[in-house]
Structure 1
Amino acid sequence: MSRKHRQPSFDLGRSFYFLWCGESLAIVGTALMEFALGVWVYSHTGSALAFANVVLAATLPAVVFLPLAGGLADRVSHRLIIVCCDVSLALLLFGVMGLLWFDRLEPLHLYLFNCLASIVSAFRKPAYQAAVNSIVAPEKFTRASGLMGISKNASALVAPLLAGAIMARAGLVTILAVDLITFCSGTLLVIKAFAHVRRSSGRHDGPGKASVLRGALDNVAGALKFFAASHLMAGLLVYTMLRSALLSLATLMMTPLLLSTLGSQTLGMAYTWAALGGLAGAGVLISMGNPRRLMALVAVADLLLALCVIALGVVSHAVAYCALAFVAITAASVADASVNSLWMRKIPGGNRASVFALISMLTIATTSLSIFVGGLLVDHWFQPALVPGGAYAESIGHWLGVGPGRGVGMLFVVAGACFALLALSVLCYGPMRRLEGAQSEAASPRTGDTAQVEAL
């Protein structure tokens, strides 16, 4: 009974594994490219602002297009969208490689490339998320989320090391060639994934009776109504936005915190241990299978993460930074995958991609705002107050210390305290803590690309 009964729980289906492998290749290729483009721009301009512009160009355009992209993914074949996006990215890569080959590449070209790639990715992401939701059974969402987390954290661990080695030996053009190969291979795996998917015999009243664009806008409106109809879903949305913003703020500010105190070597060690923690967290969640009280698990993991963030603002030794980074990202990985599993269970099948896109758009916007506000607080308030003779030198300075980097340390303490209050509020509010107890609105037949699938 034991072995035969447990075996199916680890079987997520051939379609999912092909899709996951294809997405993993795309994630690794994207991570290689982002690292290499940032290094190339900074080495050619020496400007931190130019480096920041590369990041912004790769992020902000997606905010504008995500709602429309989600609505489109609910009306058009997921496979068609993913393959078209991969082909578009490959063509963009060919353009950059051509400019680089003829020695015509300028930072402005990379800003434009990142902007266009961000728009393409905005259409690809909700289609991928909805595809996973449609081909995996609801009781296996948590394990699928854990595997998706492994791809993300493994790329964060391997990509910078691999990209740095390739850049040093062969230059940017080789990075772009590797990225092109990963995208093409990933596209073939996506096609293979949907070849194993059972097609639905149901009909839909989409493109035949109304334009795809009109249908996409209708699905966006449906996504807004989904949150308006349930205060618990709206609460989960706010929680997702705030936790992502605080986590991104802490992750980004690790760089100035450690560079101003212990140097680049410690920073590299901390990020390596953080990536290992992410892999460990994803592994823990996969081994747990389908845990009960999923929202309570999220809140407890986030509370542990918040305590680690507070401690990161106080400690001053390299070993302590690495240990805390490992524990923090382990907890963050468990919480991230669990939140994703909750959304997969709760979102209705009709406008699944639209809701995912709306969540992504609001999360990106909130994260960008928190990073901007955090930088202002450090530069214009916390750091000036924590220099010798500053306003907080004789009070808070006794606990956090004074001098370079202490303003960022204070930001960690404040952000961690807010994060802890957020997690405690979920644990104290019964309906939110028991959110996963209700029957999933997303329960629908697992028919792959659902009724909107059409052959390529």
Structure 2
Amino acid sequence: MIEPLGAPEEPMRREPTRTGTRTFVLVYLTQLISLLGSQLTAFGLGLWVYQRTGSTTAYGAVALATLAPGVLAAPFAGVLVDHSARKAMLAGHVGAGLCSLALALLVQADAPRLWLILALVALASICNSVQFPGLSSVSPRLIPPEQLGRANGAVHLGTAVGQLVAPAAATTILAAGSLWTILLIDALSFLVASTMLLVIHIPPAQGAATTRVHWRGVFADAKGGWQYLRGRRGFIWLLALFALMNFTLGIAQVLVTPFVLGFNDMHVLGGVMSFAGLGMVTGSVLLLVWGGPRRGRIRAVLCFALVESVSLLLLGVLRPSAFLVAACAFGVLFATPLVVGCGQTIWQRKIPAALQGRVFGIRFLVAQGVLPLAFLLAGPLADHVFEPLMRHEGPLSTSVGAVLGTGPGRGIALLFVVLGLLSILGVLLAATSPRLRRLEEEIPDNDITGRRTSAELAECSP
């Protein structure tokens, strides 16, 4: 449990400085380095397990172990971040690096066991759970508020580049028969990130410098993030919208490969996926240069979410064509960093500094927690519900099939249409909420004097 040691003295007014901006760049680089290593391992290890076992279930288990434990641990990681973001991120890097090193030693000894691989991957996922709340809560302390949008653009650009580079790099290294090399690179990336964090000074959050952690009460403290959000319906609407968008895009992410292969080959699929990834890079670069709107960020989130949803809808409506699919996928991934980046700036500017770790941990749990469900539902929905409906003699072949076509892949097209309509409905419903529309006016920006933080810490105490 985090408890105040006494009434803190009035903190001095602190504004982010050039030194803070340089510190943010260093922190960002530590996260980027470890992220690239993690993405390399996630793709390479899953592919290696599939090659060794020939089991889709084993491949899916590795993917699930990479994501689910970290999502579940995020609220508790947020408690540690609120106490000391630097120590939490450092401990996360060290723990994840040791897991990668242990995996490398297992592979080198030619003694891997699937259960042991899954255990180490899950432990690494838990260690990495501090990184999102850590970087998200540190950024507002280091850089001026008007630069937060650009900083978020840089973060998404790093993610986009990693998603483009990691699969190709992992495949190339595995072709030489060396998973050990991938795991060693991952372990070294965590070592470099940890070393950089050791020499970085991150100022404590206002209201958090006079706190200590009681481990037995960490579950109670983790509720503080939810208690804060529960009383502010605008944030609940925003969080629900992001969860819905992640759910629909999660299903689409799984099914786009069989969708394209339904009318073309692997070479075309590679081109489509590369062009789609270029969309995410382009959106991230735009946010990095532009920084997002200075006012009306909620409107920007809703507008870009609508672009994302319509692009997903068109992915299913338009005729089977590699060019059209690539264009729609580009639109989806172009809008994604703009939606997330503009939304992230709102959270960073409005949530009190001493609560950001816990609130961002809850955000990660809710918004990312829907992804495992989406991944699990995607295949059965396509294979057992939508594809049978759109067969040449299927129940919808003469009605919906007259518009979308029938045959292999057209059931997935119908599912994309349903997902797009669901997302559009969610955006329009969110836009009707006065609490969401007025969120930026009703909730003040972070109070650097600490008075607002102290009051809201008391409100969120268990």
TM-score (normalizing by structure 1): 0.89
2:430 corresponds, among 426, 431, 442, to 426
Task: State the Cα deviation string for residues 96-140 of structure 1 (Å, max 9, x = none).
Answer: 111111111233332122111111112343223222233233222
Structure 2 counterpart of 1:159: 166
Pair 138,219 (structure 1): closer, same or farther in 2 beyond 3 Å: farther
1:48 to partner: Cα distance? 1.2
Q: Does the C-alpha gap of structure 1 residues 47 and 202 become closer, same or farther in structure 2, counting only changes over 3 Å?
A: closer
Instruction: Quote how far apart the aligned CAs of 1:260 are.
Output: 2.9
State how far apart, in whole Å, the 2-side matches of 1:200 and 1:254 are: 42
Partner of residue 86 from structure 2, selected from 59, 79, 86:
79
1:275-424 to 2 correspondences below 5 Å: 275-291=277-293, 292-314=295-317, 315-424=319-428
Task: Output the TM-score relative to the length of structure 2.
Answer: 0.88
Change (3 A) 1:203 1:110: closer
CA 1:55–1:151 in structure 2 vs 1: closer, same or farther (change >3 Å)?
same
Alignment size in residue pairs: 434
Which residue identity is paired with 2:345? S
- The residue identity in structure 2 corresponding to 1:206 is T
Which residue, 19, 25, 29 being the options, matches 1:21? 29
Q: Does 1:437 find its partner at 2:441? A: yes
Retained in 2: the 8 A contact 1:69–1:357?
A: yes
Give the fraction of aligned pairs with identical amino acids, expressed as a percent: 27
1:74 is paired with a residue of what secondary structure? helix
CA shift for structure 1 position 309: 0.6
Q: Which whole-Å CA distance do the structure 1 matches of 2:410 and 2:154 have between them?
A: 37
Tell me the equivalent position of 2:124.
Answer: 117
Task: Measure how far apart 1:9 and its partner are.
Answer: 11
Cα contact 2:98–2:187 (8 A) shared by 1: no
Tell me the distance in 2 between the aligned counterparts of 1:14 and 1:58: 31
Question: Does the 8 Å CA contact 2:282/2:334 hold for their aligned counterparts?
Answer: yes
Q: In 2 relative to 1, CA 357–60 (structure 1 residues): closer, same or farther, beyond 3 Å?
A: same
Unaligned runs of 5+ in 1: 1-7, 447-456
Counterparts in 2 of 1:9 and 1:130: CA distance versus 1, 3 Å? closer
Give the residue type in structure 1 aligned to 2:76.
L
Contact 1:73 1:353 in 2 (8 A): yes
* Residue 181 in structure 1 maps to residue 188 in structure 2: yes
2:206 counterpart of 1:206: no
Cα distance, 1:213–1:204 mapped onto 2, change above 3 Å: farther
| Secondary structure class of the residue paired with 2:391 | coil
* Residue identity in the other structure for 1:307: V
Map of 1:49 onto structure 2: 57
C-alpha change, 1:400 and 1:224, in structure 2 (3 Å) is same
What is the rounded CA distance, in whole Å, between the counterparts of 1:251 and 1:202 in structure 2? 41
Match of 2:243 in 1: 241
Q: Which residue of 2 is the match for residue 99 of structure 1?
A: 106
Q: Distance in 1 between matches of 2:410 and 2:449?
A: 54
Shift of residue 289, structure 1, vs aligned partner: 2.6
Instruction: Pick closer, same or farther for the CA change 1:350–1:199 going to 2, 3 Å.
Output: closer
- The Cα shift of 1:213 comes to 4.1
Question: Is 1:217–2:219 an aligned residue pair?
Answer: yes
Alignment match, 2:138: 131
Tell me how far apart the structure 2 counterparts of residues 339 and 352 of structure 1 sit (CA, whole Å).
Answer: 14
Give, in angstroms, the shift of residue 200 of structure 1.
Answer: 7.7
Contact between 2:99 and 2:120, CA under 8 Å: does it hold in 1?
A: yes
Cα deviations across residues 32-53 of structure 1 (Å, max 9, x unaligned)?
A: 1111101101111111111111
**Counterpart AA for 2:229:** F
Unaligned 5+ runs, structure 2: 1-15, 451-462
Residue in structure 2 matched with residue 449 of structure 1 by the alignment: none
C-alpha root-mean-square deviation of aligned residues, in Å?
A: 2.4
Q: Which amino acid aligns with 2:258?
A: P
Distance in structure 2 (CA, Å) of the matches to 1:17 and 1:226: 30
2:43 to 17, 35, 47: 35
Say whether the 8 Å CA contact 1:245–1:366 is kept in structure 2: yes
Q: Is the 8 A contact 1:309 1:413 kept in 2?
A: yes
Greater mean deviation of Cα atoms: 152-161 or 427-436:
427-436
Q: Per-residue displacement from partner, 1:33-74 (whole Å, max 9, x unpaired)?
A: 111101101111111111111111112222332222212221
Contact 1:142–1:289 (Cα < 8 Å) also in 2:
yes
CA apart distance, 1:201: 9.5
2:187 maps to a residue whose letter is L
User: Partner of 2:13 in structure 1?
Assistant: none
Contact 1:127 1:353 in 2 (8 A): yes
- State the Cα distance separating 1:290 from its structure 2 match: 4.7
Query: Which SS does the other structure have where 2:49 is aligned?
Result: helix
CA, structure 1 residues 62+437, in 2 after alignment: closer, same or farther (shift >3 Å)? same
> Which residue in the other structure is 2:10 paired with?
none
Structure 2 partner of 1:59: 67
Cα shift readout 1:405-443 (whole Å, capped 9, x = no counterpart):
111111100000111122223344454234333453434
1:255 Cα deviation (Å)? 1.9
Read off the aligned partner of 1:337 and give its amino acid letter: G
Contact 1:245 1:370 in 2 (8 A): yes
What is the distance in 1 between the residues matched to 2:203 and 2:350? 23
Residue pair 1:150, 1:282 contacting (<8 A) in 2 also: yes
Paired position in structure 2 for 1:454:
none
Using the alignment, how far apart are the partners of 1:73 and 1:12 within structure 2? Answer: 18
Flag the 1:329–1:12 CA change in 2: closer, same or farther, 3 A. farther
Q: C-alpha separation between the residues in 2 aligned to 1:220 and 1:443? A: 22
Closer, same or farther: CA 201–349 of 1 in aligned 2, 3 Å:
closer
Mapped contact 1:206–1:212 kept (Cα < 8 A): no
